[in-house]
Every structure is written in structure tokens, then in C-alpha cells.
Amino acid sequence: MGLSRVQIQILPERQFPRNVNMVMSRSLAQKLEIKTQPFWVTYGSAAESGMIALSPIHSNLIRMSSRLASQLRMTNQSLINAQFDPHYLRLRFGPLFGILINAHPQEKHEQAFGAISKFLDECAATGQTRGVRVAVFPPEHVRIESKSIQGWIREKGKWVRAPLPLPDVIYNRITSRKVEQQQSLQKKLEYLRTRYRIPIFNEKFLNKYQVHQILIKDDRIRSMLPETVPFHVNRLKEMFQRYPVLYLKPNNGSLGSGIIRVIKGAGNWVYQSATPNGTLTRSTKTLAEMAKLLSRRIGRQTYLIQQGLNLVTFENRQVDFRVLAQKNEQGKWQVTSSVGRIANDQHIVSNLARGGTIRKAADVLADLRHVANKPTITELRRIALEISNAFERLAEGHFAELGIDLALDKNGKVWLIEINSKPSKTDDTVTNPTLTTRPSVNRLIDYICFLAGLNHKKSSPYSHSKKPRRRKPL
């Protein structure tokens, strides 16, 4: 299977010989191992028949007729992968990598996509250097009937709107559970998965109890899970018989929102909840009064009761560790980054959205000198990989990126606090702002190339299988 990175220049139809819609050098045709024609030309879900004329000039430039480009919904490409499959007689350009978001860009603003603008800029720039075309699109711009999307692509330093075929791979970066759960979107995603066999990864949000019930099936991981049960007043009493501190968490919560800590004191019960301005504290004299307070606060929301842990602190502040695990160029889990998250001294949670700060995990571990039997950074990362592999083995769905939240108790034991399928991509999560491209973007593009079959000689499982009716030797 021949592979090369090429340039594509679109020219008027009149500049091509009859029945020819592409011109390339003989050396490029040989490198791509094109020996017969016509063949299929594909870009995303678009496919058309191709005929080439050969040029004696050594070049990676492919001149494409405007008619073929229009049929493929393709624009000029300064660098894109071209891969010829002799079995299916298919010349494939791309991959076209789609990032599904829930917000429309503000095209006139410098940061068109808000807080994730820099992340998307990095995706587009890194994809460009690797021959991967990146497109960003919202759910309502998916056109199943015409096998197309209206998306935004990066051209000449700006995001511009363009009609495109359905992508080869889709990364779900929808950050609203409400949007993601819409029936119309779920129908579209299911159709793309089943009818067009488009891989869609990180396809859904995870809720906390769902993750707990999945991982409790693994003997090794079970020992790292705090006891967790759905909220009910009767269960509150049962849990307090075992633990002096409990955390109440919204099952579908994120960014530390809605978390409540309840402490069994000497003759009273203390309620603490995270608010944007700090920690709100209230107390009651009896558990029954506390149960009423909690029931009023929670209302009809789905909450969990979780065992409170005697966790280590850093300078008297809560601390935990976020490990980012991603699929790599071989389709295997690998740790990309690990940071220590240190809570604001006014908050009970360490999330950055609640005023927390981040440092390199290794540095935080080194500063926890008072903790006996603490893990090394290598051990912490190994545990995160164990969790990733166990989760993939036991859970349904396609995931290629997990934010794994770990914490240490004062005996050095590692606990799994949470798994996040939509880890933050805002700039405040970057530990080294001097890097042009964050490591997670490089690994993301590695995985896209793996899914597209660019990292090995085997044909991708998502290949188009049509063959032209006639063949002609070059």
C-alpha cells in the first residue's frame, strides 16, 4: 500500500485532458503504487472515480480538476496524506478528522471557539503537519441525507466555514450533557457508527455511579474505590455508622459543582458545600435535621453518598492528581500527562474551576515528605494505565482519552476518585505554556493516524470497499 504526503492544487476543468481529472508525477504514482486505473478517489465519505495523467517532473504536487474537487468537497491542500490501496483500487486523501462541539464559533472574534480555541488551533496546526485535515462542527450541521457536514476548517490562520464530506473519524467534544442526550443527535451518531462505520470516540459522558459499578467488577481496582451508594436518607445513617466524614456528589456533576461534605462532629453535624465564592458551612444538632437539610438541597437531583477519605494535604489544602491517559499510535493506552491539583484554601475541592492550581505531579509527590509509603510518579502512572485498561475491558463504548483522578490517604494508599471522559481542554490545564503544542494534541493526532490505518501496512477497517468497473494499466 503506497503512502505519501502531497499537495493538492485545484485547477479549472479545461486545463485537463479528456477523461482525466488528476495530474501527478510518474515518480509519485510509483511511490503510491498506482498501477491501474480508473480507481476510486475518496475524501472522508465522498468517493468519485479518478483518472490520472502522468508528468515527468518529480514533485509531490497533484493537480485536481475543479469538478472532482467539488464532488469530493475538497479545497486546496498544502499537505495531506495520500494512500493508495491496490486491493480496493482506492486513492484516499486524509484522514478528515471531525471534532464535534456544541457551540457555534464567534467567527469575528480572535478566539472563535471560546475557552477551547487554542486547543482547536493546535489540533488544526498539528494535523496539518501530519497530513490530517481537521474540521470542527456542531450536531445540527450534520447532513445524513447528503453525507456531508457544514464545518469550520483552518485556512490562512483563520477558521472558515466550508461544506465537507462526513469525516473519517469523529471526536466527541460536546461539553453539555443536555445537548449530548438529545434524541436527534443520538440518532445521527448511531447512524454514522452503523451505516458508515465511522469511529466516534469519547462518545458519551460518564456518570459517577456508572463508572463505580463498572470498575467494582475488577478485583484489583475494587480496592481503590471509596464505598459509594445512591443517596437516600436511610443510607446516610448507615454510611455514618462506618465513616465520620461523607461526601455527597451529583451523579452527573463536573468541575466540582454541587459537592457537599458532611462531618459527624462532637454533638453536631457539619455541612460544607462548594460555592463560586468559597465554602458554605452550616451545622445541625441531629442527623435527622441534617438529613432534612440535605434533602431540601438535593431536591430531585440524582446524588451519591461517598466514603470520606483521610487524604493527604499540601500546605493544609486538599490535593489530588489528574492523570491523562490516551490511546497512542498503536491504539494502546499511554499516560500523556500527570498533574497535582491543589485546592484553593477556601474550597473543599481541588478543581481548577473552583480556584485550584496545578503543578507537576512529580513535584507535588516530592513535597509530600510526611507521607509514608507514598507511590512514585512511575507507580502512579502505572496505576492510571491499569484503570484505563480495566475500564476499556469492562465498559461499553469507544473511549480514547480519560482523565483519571487519583488521591492519596495519609498512609500512602492510592484511591480512585473519578474518571472523566471529557477532560478539560482550556488553557489553564497546560503545565508548560511555553510549548507550541500540548502533548495531548500530538497524541490525539497519533491516534487518528492509527484509526486511519496510516501507522501500519494493513488496510483500515473503515475502508471504502467499492471497485471501479474497468481497469487500465498505466
Regarding whether 245 and 195 lie in a shared domain, the answer is: no
Is 134 a member of any domain? yes
Torsion-angle region of 214 (φ positive above 0: left; ψ -120 to 50: alpha; else: beta): alpha
Residues in the chain: 474
Regarding whether 107 and 185 lie in a shared domain, the answer is: yes
Is 473 a member of any domain? no
The domain boundary residue, chosen from 292, 307, 322: 307
What is d(CA 21, CA 52) in angstroms, rounded to the nearest whole number?
6
Q: Note the pLDDT of residue 458.
A: 43
CATH number of the domain that residue 356 is part of: 3.30.470.20
**pLDDT, one tens digit for every residue, the chain (474 residues):** 899 999 999 999 999 999 999 999 999 999 999 999 999 999 999 999 999 999 999 999 999 999 999 999 999 999 999 999 999 999 999 999 999 999 777 766 777 898 899 999 999 999 999 999 999 999 999 999 999 999 999 998 899 999 999 999 999 999 999 999 999 999 999 999 999 999 999 999 999 999 999 999 999 999 999 999 999 999 999 999 999 999 999 998 776 678 999 999 888 999 999 777 778 899 999 999 999 999 999 998 999 999 999 999 988 888 999 999 999 999 999 999 999 999 876 555 544 544 578 899 999 999 998 888 999 999 999 999 999 999 999 999 999 999 999 999 999 999 999 999 999 888 665 666 677 899 999 999 999 999 999 974 444 444 444 444 445 556
3-state per-residue secondary structure call for 82-134: EEEECCCCEEEECCEEEEECCCCCCCCCCCCCHHHHHHHHHHHHHHHHHCCEE
What are the CA-CA distances from residue 383 to residues 176, 413, 439 (Å)? 29, 12, 20
Regarding whether 38 and 13 lie in a shared domain, the answer is: yes
Local structure of residue 147 (DSSP, 8 states):
T
Is 252 a member of any domain? yes
Regarding whether 399 and 342 lie in a shared domain, the answer is: yes
Regarding whether 405 and 340 lie in a shared domain, the answer is: yes
Cα-to-chain-centroid distance, residue 317: 30
- Amino acid (one-letter) located at 114: G
Q: Note the pLDDT of residue 267.
A: 87
Regarding whether 330 and 318 lie in a shared domain, the answer is: yes
Is 221 a member of any domain? no
The domain boundary residue, chosen from 382, 398, 421: 421
Host domain of residue 163 = 96-201
Question: Beta strand 317-327 with 401-408: parallel, antiparallel or unpaired?
Answer: antiparallel
Regarding whether 414 and 330 lie in a shared domain, the answer is: yes
CATH number of the domain that residue 52 is part of: 2.40.40.20
Q: Phi and psi dihedrals of 379, rounded to 5?
A: -65, -40
Is 427 a member of any domain? no
What is d(CA 445, CA 451) in angstroms, rounded to the nearest whole number?
10
Is the distance from CB of 274 to CB of 348 less than 8 angstroms?
yes
Q: Note the pLDDT of residue 317.
A: 87
Is the distance from CB of 255 to CB of 354 less than 8 angstroms?
yes
What total of structural domains would you count in the chain? 4
Regarding whether 298 and 255 lie in a shared domain, the answer is: yes
Using a cut of 0.85, tell me whether the model's pTM lies above it. yes
Is 294 a member of any domain? yes
The domain boundary residue, chosen from 93, 110, 134: 93
Is the distance from CB of 306 to CB of 246 less than 8 angstroms?
yes
Cα-to-chain-centroid distance, residue 102: 14
Is the distance from CB of 178 to CB of 163 less than 8 angstroms?
no
CATH number of the domain that residue 154 is part of: 3.40.50.20
Is 156 a member of any domain? yes
Regarding whether 387 and 358 lie in a shared domain, the answer is: yes
Q: Note the pLDDT of residue 343.
A: 81
Regarding whether 323 and 355 lie in a shared domain, the answer is: yes
Regarding whether 321 and 415 lie in a shared domain, the answer is: yes
- Amino acid (one-letter) located at 342: I
Grid cell digits, residue 183: 434524541
Contacts of 379 (CB under 8 A, 6+ apart): none
Is 164 a member of any domain? yes
Regarding whether 176 and 87 lie in a shared domain, the answer is: no
